[in-house]
Structure 1
């Protein structure tokens, strides 16, 4: 499996069939022994979701085969889809190893309808499994299916909080199924009979919006009055938030046991009123959020329950049946948010009576504060923050809080009441000017499966601490979209997104938020950039805006996604955009030098390429260059990643690969000093920069530009500089140092120098925007520094996915750096487990693979005679001081002397 992957199930079968129980010598058999029949498949998903309620287009089925026999593979599957127990589609037995994104191929499915499905598989000896436990999915709504009107409250407020309600009666027959389909601009909370059943944000352009489907069956009872209510918040354009217009669209379908259906839709019969928030200033000039000032004296208590007197409420403005006005198209939202109520780790009462709650770490959360003895008209000020003042109060200093006003306000009514912020922020501390307050917070982030959470424990606690910091930061920076920061901007920057996405995919097996982001950036090219660029932030309130090297990151990100997921459909969607990016880069290759020169895009400090950010993180990089080494190396990756996609989709990548080779040659011929190191580029007059930055040399190593014979010298130079790259690009430094695990560990654990250990040593609990964030007023909650967890998995644990869907992985423990490492890495086909430790002069290595995964295992050893194997493995060769084996699913242990 060296430098390639096995592309057909029959090829993989041939490899695994040759695996036998091995002692010091391994001999391949010619036929697979007949073992146990496989177990019933588990973890059934549609589009990577367990129980989706709004599937659009052909459902894409996924599952995990189960088999206790070692070295097992799926060789065939059969899927059956039913509706009300009646078969809709039977795939029949399909000879295939695919277990992900298997498309439905039956008759058209009805909208807003529930279906069940199951699957069985066959193993490598042709034995079938039992049928899987039945799973379910619902189809969603097309634009023409809604038959509901967009409504809103008539107002000119820039920060619009609106309550909307509809009271109705239900028939006496039992409710067997109820679904609410909802879209709102920009945020909403859906209430049914006094209970909040869903919360979400629809930060999208109104001509390409999102809707959600919510199961409300349990909230509705037959034979009575019911209320559906929506609290929505529209607040104009901002970072990550197009302006659009305020609006609400809802369709509620209630199915009764007698076959009747009660349908409730937004229309002119609804009632609306202003929400009980007071006008307040913006938090900052970047994000466009407003301070929340809640007025409990104006709260219409019981508004979301039957019997409430709403006679004083307004009739809504009706824009028309969807699609209407600016709201011309909706699509199903695949992502979910996950909410958890957390308590402070401590609460301190100051001499003034003010309470200061410490949540122990920076969290993206909505504060919740209960006042049991409220006093009519009393205003309580609250301040969130990242840093405490010497007197114990929460710092309001702009440098401590990302230039953001993190205040909240609550005007009390008499009696018991609770302030619940509608919009989250990133913070650690919350100060409340009421000595009797009870403080908590609701943490939110994109929903992930805890069963697919990566973990790592090594002999070095500093490595473990850095890994845990990165993993948590990646999750907390993943909300309705990937974030710049949960405090200041909340925007989905392309460069940040590519970084955070890789961390969430590798740290949590996350898929849906990444897929949404990919499609959004694809859309940005169609909306704004006919020349092949992509928007730097999308969706966004400031329209057309790009950063050249962010555009260059897109093709490599897509290939990373494909290797982790095997999602050929998204690869095909993204491929034309990748080609356009490749053509954009090609247009700026100067025929005289063969180099990408003045790659058009960006403005100010971003023009021709951001390189690293903030500016202090460039560590003297020569920004006067026109042909920048970093931009040219990224150009090589653009061409190579696009070539790989072309070849995977059955097209020729020959021209792209030739251009990548030519660009690599030009870089090595022109952008190197006499000592073989890479300088920062050529200036406009053709003269060479005299500065050889760490980032230029690290990128050349990480992307394979450095000739093999020169890699050791360039690596030595890069390592000698310590950390002279920012959190945004530091994962490329660790990638460049992958062959030097001692240096990787030093960068992860050196608390005195810039890096993750220094963040932790200075009390940081979330990755920072820059290593000098406390001194320069940069963000203390910037998830782009989390991406290096991938390099920890590769270099320290030794696990690298090498083929689509993680069907093949390389496992290669380092020969130095740490003395032991154990952990699991999520791939599409399951969890890859590794546990290795040094024993005397040898190594004990245990590998545990899911069914349908093959690994190339590198055991540190002089040769195969120095290795004992417990389990099934096939010796391949001795390479670079390792004995290399191929193994299949199950647990295999290697002992080397």
Structure 2
């Protein structure tokens, strides 16, 4: 047995940690089965002196164990040692360190500095300081932040490999600072430069493309802490002794792009100006930073019909392009960005709207490598102007996003499904850039709460999003008010709006997802008042019937069951949606109160939950069980949120089946219904129907976009029309992760990986087959270790391979077996023959057409098993019309269609059973 991956607050050996009671986690790795931790011992020391020793603690807990020693000192290095004993008589050891930061913004001694450039100046200010070092250096740390986005260079070398620091927070309430190691950079004479771009703070942003959402001057704050080998130290810090100038970055805007003029020289240094910001609002970096996580080579050079020079990188992504070039002095190279080419093959930047996304580089005559500093783009294609000889090897797409650990993999026998999974992951990466944005390319890129909420479950399978969402949820709470509730976007630059269902519910739902995925109780503690505040806000808006039926609602946003030109909110009653979420969030709040042992709130919100459910049934379900909105989304919410009384569930389920059949087994759901549609069907014994909808390849479906060449998830089911035209609503992102929420169903239902206890301490493995997929191989790296679920069903043989990490247990349901199996950690493999899914007598078709039409069994078989036969074009055509429609047609047409089916069946040995 080995002990591995010691994490302190989800990070290995972090520096600049400002958590006053950090938590420790580790993993056990063993080849033996049924391994459990029996005891652990944690020792935290500083400078060789033990500060906290848990002693041998008989516990299986190995996740997020809180430090309970003496108060931590700022700017200090601590050593951590963890010993573990398992139930097999083995002992293991793992060690690590963490280094505290300033432990609060008020511990900064530096001063905020800004400039007095004229308003029309677009160049980024560069704050400069020269200083000397005459002693031998032991350690150097730099603590810095800005109002804007910044980059620090010392002696021409950039500190760190991150981008867009300090990140986007609710600047009026919270501002992050970063810690950098700079031990080997300082020389005897040194020059530090802090370049600050407008970024989210001052830059052009929002639907109106206006600047100065938080302020009209960028500013910088920094301290260089130098520790010498003789035990002395000094601090170089921002103050009025610094100077300011401008450099080669002549303009930079997130929406508009960046212009770099390498010929520009400015020897003039001007005086800085002091400014202020509330120091108590400054906190240490809370989530992983944004980094270049991958570099993609150029795939193809295209000369379009309009004679544009275009490079295809083969993948819609978020980031920018690195350009290597040797141009003439003063030569200007222009790089434009687009997600797609039009159907004629021309460059099509229209999905960007007002975000022009153009980078320009002015050459100095030398061999150069250009890449932007303070902008990013959503693109697959670039158009190049100003360069005659284009060599593909000189263009590289740099993929940018918050550097979250990848935790999930999902591979199936269906290549279209595998591309869908890739598209989901790429959309998550492209939109998880410091905040969970809606899209990364157009003049929006906002932290929409609704998009984040519906996708959170899928996100937590693909990547470790604990820190990412923790940071963002702190901003959600800081932006929340008693008067307006939770904003629609966070950070909120849209102004005061009343909270809206499904969007503002992110304040309740996402903390619960984090708790269940990582076993993180602290996120519930920190967000509890925010969660409670949102439910109380809804309650304050309710009428005498106890329901929320006033104000603006998004409804089932972009649903297909209503003409979008008239209304984007779909056909489902908007207040049915609102009250479904009211009940759902109230129930989550009740469960959170139970976890936190809040007795009064448990009682209060248990009663409120029952009250809302009762009112929901009285208002939206008739006495005979008819739902007011018998849309797919209406039925799905009533079923999946467990709102309908038991006596009504069957009728609502039947209404859902009927609605789906009327749409020829296609979905018609929008942002609200889509995440839960397949879950609701699977949970209510209609898993085959869920599979049928999931694998549809024509519009509307998940695989329609895949067949159209998508490499990310689209905002709309028909962002690109079957004829190659584009949706012209002006709201047509091709990188929008909301409909990627199907990923959670793929992991939970198809691969069968579920948690029975928070953090996957106890695991449920229950893979479920669908027609059209013969194998799945999936993994999820939980906080305890990697979970694997692999299965295949071929040639009437089922094979299942399972891996359960040490220090956990699992319940396994093998496909087509009813009895669960309790297992401990280890690797398990099973192989057995499949049970026939077609438990019917062999039925030959050696009868006349008239006999078949009069034979109820034939109609029943056709209805029930036609999905098994999909793939043959004649059968698919007849099936999609549906039996009821065929029988309703003229007799001659009916006969012809049924003869098609019979002929196809006869080619397969004349037996339905054989097929």
| TM interval, short-chain normalised | 0.7 to 0.9
Rate the CA distance shift 1:610–1:211 in 2: closer, same or farther, 3 A: farther
Structure 2 stretches lacking a partner, 5+ long:
720-725, 834-915
Residue matched to 1:225: 189
- Matched residue SS, 1:893: strand
- Matched residue SS, 1:825: strand
Number of aligned positions between the proteins: 789
Larger radius of gyration: 2
Of 673, 696, 708, 1:762 maps to 708
Q: How far apart in 2 are the matches of 1:497 and 1:622?
A: 18
Q: How far apart in 2 are the matches of 1:547 and 1:763?
A: 37
TM-score, normalisation: structure 2: 0.81
Residue matched to 2:219: 247
Of 476, 483, 503, 2:437 maps to 483
Of 635, 641, 644, 1:703 maps to 641
Rate the CA distance shift 1:391–1:419 in 2: closer, same or farther, 3 A: farther
Rate the CA distance shift 1:613–1:154 in 2: closer, same or farther, 3 A: farther
Of 447, 472, 475, 1:492 maps to 447
1:408 CA displacement: 2.6
- Matched residue SS, 1:859: coil
Higher-RCO chain (CA-CA 8 Å, sequence separation at least 6): 1
Rate the CA distance shift 1:679–1:896 in 2: closer, same or farther, 3 A: farther
Of 570, 574, 577, 1:630 maps to 577
Q: How far apart in 1 are the matches of 2:313 and 2:176?
A: 33
Of 172, 179, 200, 1:213 maps to 179
Rate the CA distance shift 1:547–1:90 in 2: closer, same or farther, 3 A: same
Rate the CA distance shift 1:501–1:211 in 2: closer, same or farther, 3 A: farther
RMSD: 2.8
Q: How far apart in 1 are the matches of 2:90 and 2:402?
A: 37
Pairwise mapping of residues 67-78 of structure 1 onto structure 2 (< 5 A)? 67-78=30-41
Q: How far apart in 2 are the matches of 1:290 and 1:373?
A: 24
Rate the CA distance shift 1:753–1:556 in 2: closer, same or farther, 3 A: same
1:656 CA displacement: 1.8
1:351 CA displacement: 9.5
Of 175, 179, 190, 2:152 maps to 190
- C-alpha contact 1:861 1:896 (8 A) present in aligned 2: no
1:432 CA displacement: 1.1
Q: How far apart in 2 are the matches of 1:693 and 1:329?
A: 47
Q: How far apart in 2 are the matches of 1:557 and 1:350?
A: 45
Q: How far apart in 2 are the matches of 1:545 and 1:237?
A: 21
- Matched residue SS, 1:787: helix
- Matched residue SS, 1:596: coil
- Matched residue SS, 1:772: coil
- C-alpha contact 2:667 2:700 (8 A) present in aligned 1: yes
1:350 CA displacement: 6.5
Of 781, 784, 788, 2:738 maps to 784
- C-alpha contact 1:46 1:137 (8 A) present in aligned 2: no
TM-score, normalisation: structure 1: 0.82
- Matched residue SS, 2:92: coil
1:825 CA displacement: 1.7
Rate the CA distance shift 1:615–1:408 in 2: closer, same or farther, 3 A: farther
Rate the CA distance shift 1:717–1:47 in 2: closer, same or farther, 3 A: farther
- C-alpha contact 2:322 2:395 (8 A) present in aligned 1: yes
- C-alpha contact 2:422 2:711 (8 A) present in aligned 1: no
Q: How far apart in 1 are the matches of 2:362 and 2:404?
A: 36
The answer on 1:150 being equivalent to 2:117 is no
Q: How far apart in 1 are the matches of 2:823 and 2:405?
A: 27
Residue matched to 2:825: 889
1:43 CA displacement: 0.7
Pairwise mapping of residues 423-462 of structure 1 onto structure 2 (< 5 A)? 423-433=375-385, 434-437=387-390, 438-450=394-406, 452=407, 454-462=408-416
Residue matched to 1:104: 67
- For residues 159-178 of structure 1, the C-alpha deviation after alignment (integer angstroms, 9 at most, x for no partner) is 551112222222342x3322
- C-alpha contact 2:461 2:744 (8 A) present in aligned 1: yes
Of 249, 255, 263, 1:289 maps to 255
- For residues 733-763 of structure 1, the C-alpha deviation after alignment (integer angstroms, 9 at most, x for no partner) is 2222224333333333322122321111222
Residue matched to 1:873: none
- C-alpha contact 1:350 1:392 (8 A) present in aligned 2: yes
- For residues 180-225 of structure 1, the C-alpha deviation after alignment (integer angstroms, 9 at most, x for no partner) is 111012211222222222333332214410111112223335xx22
Q: How far apart in 2 are the matches of 1:728 and 1:179?
A: 47
Of 128, 131, 150, 2:93 maps to 131
1:794 CA displacement: 0.9
- C-alpha contact 1:109 1:139 (8 A) present in aligned 2: no
The answer on 1:587 being equivalent to 2:552 is no
Residue matched to 1:203: 168
- C-alpha contact 2:124 2:250 (8 A) present in aligned 1: no
The answer on 1:383 being equivalent to 2:336 is yes
- Matched residue SS, 1:630: helix
- C-alpha contact 1:347 1:356 (8 A) present in aligned 2: yes
Rate the CA distance shift 1:624–1:69 in 2: closer, same or farther, 3 A: closer
Rate the CA distance shift 1:196–1:786 in 2: closer, same or farther, 3 A: farther
1:326 CA displacement: 5.2
1:447 CA displacement: 0.7
1:360 CA displacement: 0.6
Rate the CA distance shift 1:461–1:678 in 2: closer, same or farther, 3 A: farther
The answer on 1:724 being equivalent to 2:688 is no
Q: How far apart in 1 are the matches of 2:484 and 2:594?
A: 21
Rate the CA distance shift 1:631–1:470 in 2: closer, same or farther, 3 A: same
Q: How far apart in 2 are the matches of 1:192 and 1:393?
A: 44
Q: How far apart in 2 are the matches of 1:796 and 1:729?
A: 19
- Matched residue SS, 1:775: coil
Residue matched to 1:19: none
- Matched residue SS, 1:509: coil
- Matched residue SS, 1:733: helix
